[in-house]
Structure 1
Amino acid sequence: MELRVFFYITIIVAFSGMGCKSAKSSHAANSSPIAVSSDFDSGSIDTLWESKPNFLSGWPIHWKQKSSSDDQYYWFYFKLNNVVNKDITITLDSLAGIYRGGPHLIYTKATQPVYSYDQKNWDRIADVKYDTKLHTLTFRNLFTRDSVWIAYAHPFSYGQESALIDSISGKPFLTIETLGTTQQRRNIHLLTVTDTSIPDAGKKVVFITTLQHAGEYCGGYVVSGLLNFLLSDDENAAIARKTTIYKIIPMMNPDGIFHGITRFNGNYEDLNQEWDDDFTDTLHLPVEPEAACVKKWIRGWRSSGRHIDLALDIHSQGQQGAMNLLHTPEGMLADLTPHFNKYWPVKYIPMEFSGSLNDCLAKEFHISSGTFEIPQSRIKNEAYLTIDDYYNYGKGIGLGITDYFLKNR
């Protein structure tokens, strides 16, 4: 059994219960009080209690970045028991944080949490109200089974990454290696997909990363969709394998994801601010192990005479976004998005983030690189995105990249 260590304890007076990874209802008058828990892979809630029958109040954990004032709060994922045929109202407050020293407000009136009775099939909770002054989200739903899981958006847990790797292990065209481990000894996997019957010389090399930020879980489904496509019998996948070497890291931050931390890794650092630490930044040294092992691999790959033609890092804007974005350093990859737009909608935005993987790849390694920002809600006013939509985005990435390289040969 894994040892799980947490550093937040909240004491609530009266009948509120305990915070951290598990909170219990205190409403004794109800013959079947609602029980709240989050002591599972990717689970997270600070305090949540039944303040009156079928009404729960509380807030998510505010995770503090170790080396700055950043305060990330938005991810929640908890389980309710004793809810069959109950019309439940939940209010979460303290929904305001800090990112890179400024206000971070990621909830909106369009935020729709998800719920599941089996942690596989997820539906949206559509009865939602957000108070922009109090930063409070209230949502209501009638549940038809005794137990239900509720999350900010579709979770992609550490266990799901393990299951993904197990499901594709041994398939043709795939090799799996471990680049390094986190502070808590979880592996950082690198998956290589290519047709080894075709010499590597002349092939394009594409480097894909995702899940640097715990809470931005749609990237896990996008990469799953990409891998399922690349390893399929689709004739376009065969073309991709013959012409391209894919190097894919499906989960950059397994510690943060396992513990249900918002954005940060298990050391409470934002990995996407850590990529310049080993050569420009003295504040955060030493560099976090997740970033260090990847940079070591890149340097080794390049020192062996290999190249990387394209790098894409997959993130999410949470539920505040309403468009898929590809942002890059000014002028880089401006001609790539039209190829993606054949398969899924993407808008190109020149933008730079100091310390990010994208910035490091472009400036230190001179690799054409970009960062996807994918909403966890919907595109404009269309239907809310589903896991199948994210799978299709992954396939669209593979198709778009092949089109891009074939046109630019």
Structure 2
Amino acid sequence: MKRCAYLFFVATVLMPAAVTIRSNFEGGNIGRVEQLAPNHFRCHVNGEADQQHRNRQASWYYFEIDGAAGQEVTLDLVDLQGEYNFRPGNLAINGHTRPFISYDRSKWTALPDNAIEWDKIDLRLRVHLTPARSPVWIAHVPPYTTRNLAVLLAELKGNAHVVMEEIGKSAGGRNLMMLTITNPARPLVDKKVLWLMARQHAWESGTSWVMDGAVRFLAGGNPKAAKLRDSFVFKLFPMADPDGVARGGVRFNVNGYDLNRNWDTVDPKLMPEITALRKAVLDWTDGGRRIDLFLNLHNTNDDFLQGPLSLAEPDYRDLVNRLAALLKKNTFYDTKAPRDWPPGNVARGRMDACQYLFYERAIPTLLLEQSVQTNARLGRPLSSADYRRFGAQLVISMAMAVGVGK
């Protein structure tokens, strides 16, 4: 009987790895994900509503895509329609907002215009992406998390020009910080005082990058910064809603309260963030110290300055116009004519930080909104480096605008 040896060759077919999507990391957020095809996903943007279950904002997404290196992936971002100040129809994410991607969560790049399609009927943003490697992260705006802030604060330790104070705790128990930057060798009595606040709304990470750039400049070795420290005191709130930032929130604290409303109500249990921020400012002014300008940083889909132009003294209007002119001359900010506050009384519980501080203590306050869409002067969305550069330019412009006055 002959023995026959049979040699079997097994062909191995290399199948592409399954593409996965997740957001279970700090700042991450995406809702339900439906797989329509192997590389086509419908991603529902979570959004958030306030304590009254109104004013839903769908302004933030940040998630990881793994297993897609070299493959084209199609993402349909849906559930985008929201409500702003009880008016429906708000679309923070739309055909003019280009997603950012990163392969290391440090360097972020805006996708080109031809990578997105906007469906104005279904209100859907379709994104086409072929990652060069895996994983890749995608976000509405370059994220700035509590870890980024921790790195900045660690670098400031031991800096003779910087005082870091914990002014309270968030509803989730996180530290609320205030920075004071000045030259301690020069007496405070002769110095003008500028306040800057960022990140009242968690999705507005551009404001944190601006603050980061401002702080690094003011605390650093640039001769211009040294001159500013000699003549000014800078009071800075770097992150008003650390809980929202950590969880990938949008606009409201963990109890559903908008931290840029409700400044005329006192509730340290439900809104400890407002309580701490407001107390820090009022303690300063009630101690007989001056505030020459309080600037509140926010992100939206347009660049504009807004303040009480028709209510304040002429000196205030001159100050705002000077600042607007300086920003137009010295920065890429798409400066337009400053906007006045809307007419009429503010409903109880709807007063924002600028309104409260102006009405209660006659503090010269100003809102600065910065667009997350294509910057008209640069021709592209702003990168984290752009925001940082603007932060330094902003505090210089603020000082120049205030320095002209009395």
Identify the TM-score tier after normalising by the shorter chain.
0.7 to 0.9
Q: How does 1:83-98 map to 2 (within 5 A)?
A: 83-98=68-83
What amino acid is the match of 1:105? L
Superposed CA offset, 1:66-108 (max 9, x none): 1351111120000111111111110011110111111212233
Amino acid at match of 1:187: N
Structure 1 residue ranges without an equivalent (≥5): 1-29, 279-283
% identity of equivalent residues: 26
Contact 1:343 1:393 in 2 (8 A): no
Judge conservation of contact 1:34–1:50 (CA < 8 Å) in 2: no
Q: What is the Cα deviation at residue 310 of structure 1?
A: 0.8
* Residue deviations 1:100-140 (CA, integer Å, cap 9, x gap): 11121223322110010000001112210111121111010
Aligned counterpart, 1:325? 304
After TM superposition, the structure 1 stretch with the greater mean CA deviation from structure 2, 345-354 or 217-226, is: 345-354
Match of 2:405 among 389, 405, 408: 408
2:126 maps to which of 119, 134, 138: 138
Q: Is the contact between residue 69 and residue 101 of structure 1 (CA under 8 Å) also seen in structure 2?
A: yes
Amino acid aligned to 2:340: P
Q: Distance in 1 between matches of 2:177 and 2:269?
A: 22
Partner of 2:54 in structure 1?
69
Q: Which residue identity is paired with 1:234?
A: N
Aligned equivalents of 1:366, 1:387: Cα separation in 2 = 34
Q: For 2:76 and 2:95, how far apart are their aligned partners in 1?
A: 14
With 64-73 and 347-356 compared, the bigger mean Cα shift is at 347-356
Q: Give the number of equivalent residue pairs.
A: 372
1:55 is aligned, of 36, 40, 65, to: 40
Residue 359 of structure 2 aligns with an amino acid whose one-letter code is K
Match of 1:312, as an amino acid?
L
1:311-333, Cα deviation, whole Å (9 max, x unpaired): 0010000xx33xx2111112444
Q: Which runs of 5+ in 2 are unaligned?
A: 1-14, 311-315
User: Does the 8 Å contact 2:58/2:91 carry over to 1?
Assistant: no
* Contact persistence 1:275–1:287 (CA under 8 A): no
> Of residues 378, 385, 388 in structure 2, which corresponds to 1:391?
388
Counterpart CA distance in 2 for 1:367 and 1:125 is 41
Q: How does 1:249-268 map to 2 (within 5 A)?
A: 249-268=237-256
Instruction: Calculate the TM-score normalised by the size of structure 2.
Output: 0.88
- Per the alignment, residue 349 of structure 1 pairs with 339
Secondary structure at the residue paired with 1:62? coil
Asked if 1 retains the 8 angstrom alpha-carbon contact of 2:97 and 2:374, the reply is no
Any conservation in 2 of the 1:203–1:243 contact (CA below 8 Å)? yes
Pairing partner for 1:269 from 228, 233, 257: 257
| Partner Cα separation in structure 2 for residue 204 and residue 272 of structure 1 | 26
User: For residues 218 and 268 of structure 2, what CA distance do their matches in structure 1 show?
Assistant: 38
Partner of 1:289: 272
Q: Would you tell me which structure has more helix in proportion to its own residues?
A: 2
Q: Does 1:338 align with 2:325?
A: yes
Q: The residue matched to 1:370 in structure 2 has which SS?
A: strand
Contact kept, 8 Å, 1:36 with 1:49, in 2: the verdict is: no
User: Within 2, Cα distance between the matches of 1:107 and 1:54?
Assistant: 22
| Aligned residue among 103, 109, 117 for 2:103 | 117
In structure 2, what is the equivalent of residue 281 of structure 1? Answer: none
| 1:273 partner SS | coil
Following TM superposition, by how much is the alpha carbon of 1:31 offset from its aligned partner in structure 2, in angstroms? 5.0
Specify which of 210, 226, 232 is matched with residue 238 of structure 1: 226
